[in-house]
Amino acid sequence: MGNRKYTAEALSPWMKEDAPDRDVVLSSRVRIARNLRHLPFPMMASAVQAAEAMDRLLLVNESGRLNGLGEVSSVRLSELSELEKQVLVEKHLISPALANQAQHAALMLGPGEDVSLMVNEEDHLRIQCLHAGFQLKETWDTASKIDDIFEEAVDYAFDEKYGFLTSCPTNVGTGIRASVMMHLPALVMTGQINRILSAVTQVGLAVRGMYGEGSEATGNLFQVSNQITLGQSETEIIDHLHAVARQIIEHEKAARAKLMNESRLKVEDRIKRSFGVLSYAAVIDAKEASQRLSDLRLGVHLGLLPGVDEGTLNELLVSIQPGFLQQAYGEALSPEQRDMTRAQMISSRLATHA
């Protein structure tokens, strides 16, 4: 594929679409883990077996079975530079695990970058679908249709008792991980976040940061996902997550209303101070930048920063990450240079909104 077209812009086309509850939910994601029958899982496969799995899965696209999705591009990870792989991770198009695969790993990407099919990551196939805003059920519908296409073309590893077999036991059963990426600044500011997140974990859901398992929830961004894949149907998993996410959305909106009713001046001061810092800082690290961009995003949705565009903030959220910064600069940067370049990039983008 023309690799550059997928790494040149921070925002994937799907991220630019208007969507339900976009003020709270950045994205809805469904990922399906599948393996091929009669081949060892990637971690146990020989080079020959891994290559066979990759060729069989890429053939599904090459044979035209995925044409209904538009022009799906296939690329072997060996064709990408380390920086290109890092940028794809920052855009959530591939996982860190796939980026670190040494051999026989591949990627199939839909034209809108809302479909990402990872080959020989932890499992032979990871089907990932993304939609803007709170569109969990629509995202599941897309992922399920793609799963059906592959199931008609290849034999999946399946057990009548346990369901779909996966490398990690926590994925056995349906193989589904569904999640919503939520921006919850008001719940954090009003001190309600720990209570909410505790309640979420008690009903069988997991809460992680922007980049999934092992990542910190910076910038008030929380990824809420299912933990259980065995013993529940796909519909039950999606419906449960959808119901809990809807409650969180309503709690966040209520907290925002409370802030505006009881602490409007204090909130406005915080937001405008963050705008000032981001507009004039000479250096800024990723953590502080993410937090202050969170303040600006809240300000936009509260009507306190009428001149600032949400799309610019969403783009900055990705483009201030290390891979994008180095790609924009054209060479490797030290942490200090990245902090300086990040500050310059943010300042330049916000200058038109001053």
Question: What strands, in cross-sheet order, belong to the sheet with 205-208?
Answer: 73-76, 106-109, 115-119, 125-132, 25-34, 176-183, 221-226, 205-208
> 213 among the known binding-site residues?
yes
78 is in an annotated binding site: no
Query: Binding site annotation covers 181?
Result: yes
* Contact (CB, 8 A) for 209 and 215: yes
Residue 270, annotated as binding a ligand: no
Does 177 count as an annotated binding residue? yes
User: Using the 8-state DSSP alphabet, how is residue 171 labeled?
Assistant: G
Q: Residue 273 annotated as binding?
A: no
Sorted by sequence, the CB contacts under 8 Å of residue 163 that are 6+ apart come out as: 172, 173, 174, 175, 230
Determine whether the annotation assigns residue 28 to a binding site: yes
Annotated ligand binding at 189? The verdict is no
Burial 149-171 (b: 16+ CB within 10 A, else e): bbeeebebbeeeeebbbbbeeeb
Neighbouring C-beta atoms of residue 145, cutoff 10 Å? 13
274 appears as a binding residue in the annotation = no
Is 4 annotated as contributing to ligand binding?
Answer: no
Q: Is 179 annotated as ligand-binding?
A: yes
Give Cα separations from 325 to 268, 310, 322, 330 (angstroms): 30, 20, 5, 9
Cβ neighbours of 46 (radius 10 Å)? 11
211 marked as part of a ligand binding site: yes
Residues 80, 81, 85, CA angle at the centre, nearest 5°? 75
User: 29 a known binding residue?
Assistant: yes
Which segments within 133-280 are labelled E, that is strand?
158-159, 163-164, 176-183, 205-208, 221-226
Task: Name the binding residues.
Answer: 27-31, 92, 126, 177-181, 208-213
Question: Residues at the annotated binding site for ATP?
Answer: 27-31, 92, 126, 177-181, 208-213
